[in-house]
Amino acid sequence: MPRKLLNIELGRISAEEYRALPGSGVAVVLDNVRSAHNVGSAFRSSDAFRVDKVLLCGISAVPPSAEIHKSALGAELSVPFVHYDDTLDAVKALKEEGYTVVSVEQAVGSVKLDEFVPAPGVRYAFVFGNEVDGVRQDVVDSSDFALEIPQYGTKHSLNVSVSVGIILWAATHNHSL
């Protein structure tokens, strides 16, 4: 029977050690994500998959925030973040930094996640949208492509924080960070 690992056996690093690691080549963009709890969950997943940075756009909550901290469990202290008033400005900055910008959205011509193979050496910035409206159309238009998580139920909708975890795992699981 497997034994659950103790916290001291997990090999956790400090926030300072996290920030000193070389970049992973992955960034997360939150496009007007309303819920501070969803923002916190995005930070927690970003920390788990060693994301370079989180870009919080528009009405997305920004640390310090008790609601973010509750979901992030302190990950907002390890993962660098920046706020942009407009998501298009974040997309422009990411492209100037050499990131391939990917809107995570159900769109005409989107790449299905099970067909997505991250190219070696390419840096990706994944844009996640508002809980009701998704990624803004002008942001999708400015992206290099759209990536879609195939869904088979009646809702065809996932919580944004769940989507972040799925995409980050898929983008990083075959690459050593």
Find the mean pLDDT for residues 74-92: 97
177 band by pLDDT with thresholds 50, 70 and 90: very low
Please list the residues that pair with 81 across neighbouring strands.
54
Domains of the chain (ranges; CATH) run 21-172 (3.40.1280.10)
Q: Are 143 and 27 in contact (CB under 8 A)?
A: no
Mean residue pLDDT of the chain comes to 95
Task: Give the count of beta carbons closer than 10 Å to the beta carbon of residue 85.
Answer: 10
Tokens 């400090």 belong to 14
pLDDT tens column, 36-69:
999 999 999 999 999 999 999 999 999 999 999 9
Please list the residues that pair with 125 across neighbouring strands.
27, 101
Cα–Cα distance between 167 and 147 in angstroms, integer? 9
pLDDT value of residue 146: 98
Cα–Cα distance between 134 and 120 in angstroms, integer? 28
pTM: 0.95
Query: 3-class DSSP state for residue 30?
Result: strand
